[in-house]
Structure 1
Amino acid sequence: MAGRSSSSPSIARRFSRAVFAGATIATLALAGCSGGDGNGRGGRGRGDEGTPQVGFVVVQQSQVPIVSELNGRTSAYEVSDVRPQVSGVIRARLFTEGGMVRAGQTLYQIDPAPFQAAVAQARANLAAARANRDAARTRAQRYAPLARMEAVSQQDLTDAESAARQGDAAVQQARAALETAEINLRYTRVPAPISGRISRSLVTVGALVTANQTEAIATIQRLDPIYVDIQQSSTDLLALRRALASGGAVPASAAVRLKLQDGSDYGYAGTVQFSEVTVDPSTGTVTLRAQFPNPQGLLLPGMFVQAIFAQAIDTRAILVPEAGVSRDPRGNATVFVVGRDNRIVQRTVTADRTQGTNWVVTAGLNPGDRVVTEGTARVRPGQLVQPVPAGSSQRVAPPTGRRGG
């Protein structure tokens, strides 16, 4: 019993040493394994010596379209007011209101009876003028030999020849009067001057219309194709022309796209036709006109739309991923650039617009600069970093402790 009780403290001491040694080895092993990433993650973090590792992209100049998003309003390709050219009473309306009409189609029928009578009278006057002319010609022909024989006086011959010429003039006048009467008779059928969609009728059957009246009796609009009048500020237009003159941009012939009032995209692309040569003094804008196909008639005159198109191509722009651009408290765009000595340099850049997932930088960067796009939250200006190309995997060094720890 005495021997058994004396050996128990020795066994307990050996057990305590073994537990302490095992805990120490486990702690060292955990410390060695966590040394590859100062942030406790397998991603991009600090290097072997505590230097932050950042991912960068090498930026280069590229050709970037200068895209403008401007407000516009649709207008008809052609507009024609229908007005009568003769006075009379409307006897019939020969079209469907709001429907399509073709050029030359009869729209209204004016009472033709007075004009038919005028044509008949003009024809009778022409026949009388021809009869008088023939009689004058015959008399002049008979007087000619008699005058040579002095059977009649020379004055009588002169009068006969003059009457024959007056007869010719009377025939021409009567013929012109007949043509006028026939034209007025044709005008009793009011035709469509252009093809397109016609409005509602502003007169009814039985209404009296007059020639050259100021009020239109209907309006026709051609909607395919259709115009979009785009408003651009004179300041933006001046900046664009200066960029084109300096050689930093070249003209673009990109198609114009439309965004409708409900936010949807119009399915057809258009082209810019011309730009106004004057600035509207009330709005300070210049009007650009674009033409779009409209086969389904989706666009109607007077609709507000948003036009998206490229007026020029910037040949000196630099694209920087969005992750590499931040804003300071004043709202200025800034980027981190890796210098030659691998130290961080903060630069203020001009980035006023985006293209896809990139910022378009027009000032503040040079081709070949290494812009930090990964790990920007862990660096500050002047800090030494380990730059690697963006997207490359992190290399973790193996632990330097004893094997089996």
Structure 2
Amino acid sequence: MKRKLLLSSILGFSLLAGGWLNPVACHAEVVTGQAAIVNGDMAKAKQDALKDAMRSLLEQKVGVQVTSETQVEMGMVVRDEILSRSTGCILVNKVLREWQSGGVYCVEADLSANEKQIETTVADLKSRLQALGNQQTSRSTLVLAVSGRDENGNPKPIESVRKYIQARLGAQGFTVGADDEINNYLDKQTDLDNPQVGVEVRRLARNSFSGANAILRGTLTTQKAVRQNSFYEAMVHASFEVVGIDSNLSDSFDDYFTAVDADKDKAIQKANEMAVSKAAESLGKQALSTVQTESQGADRLLKMVLVVNGMTDRNTQLAALRQKLGGLRCRIIRSGFMGGTLQMLVEANGYATTDDLSAAICSAAGLQPGDSNQNAVGANKLYFSY
């Protein structure tokens, strides 16, 4: 059965807030948290582990109040809002114990939830959401076109994550449309960089949502989910792009996120939620600009897949290449390794031809033109080698 959904953030939030406005005294609880130790940075790992403990306590407080799917997704938005604003809703009374388990940093902390302060924060957030809702117009609808991939690049169900994305963007004043036909189409694709995929998604979006003027498309790819003693460490690659349906105006987000949990699926889910939270925060203002200027038109930007072979030090060379591309007015939309080959979908501004772009990259990054693959399918590609 085909299903379409337009999420109204205000309705969902009003249901949630009504169950929360019964303040009780602060109550101390002992909560544990975990975080991956990245590049030996113990201080950051401890900070992230404490934040994980605070996140867990907030989820408990919110979870008692929610009773429907809409409330669950909006409850997650409330949790993120409180954590990001440092409002004092959750207080760290004392770190009781801290230890290292392989590559995971663990803390046991005495925390207090200030439910009166939570009530105030909820009321403030509700007022802001209502104000944003009053500003919504028919030009503020985004169509969701996001798919999931597992460690092997195969399609992976992410229905709960899609709902969370809707809730996060809804809290920023957007009406977000989701359609089963679009989701099913994306889940069957093996090459999401193929321009024809974008063309078909635009066609489906126009047919399903006549008032929509921009698409949020992208992928959440599980890079790994490995055992670390008694925990699982999951890494997720988030690659999103907001594209005007009628123009080529676009904004992008590309980053990696790591989370830890005793349960493998929960570790992946945590990493997905972290990725969505950061992506929504980053893309929200940019997306608003995109949907507001969609009708003004824009010159088409040059989009290519850069294929780079011969990398001997992935981390160092990738970081240097990202920096050089930024200086060349090239914005990375998606990136990843296939075997030993780096592939990056980029948007380049100010180049008349692909030859001009190729020459600029070779000169700035110290690359050589690579051998073209005549049998390659999908998006147009430029080949390089170290």
TM-score (norm. length: structure 2)? 0.19
Q: Which has the higher helix share?
A: 2
Q: Which structure has the higher relative contact order (CA within 8 Å, separation 6+)?
A: 1
TM-score (norm. length: structure 1)? 0.19
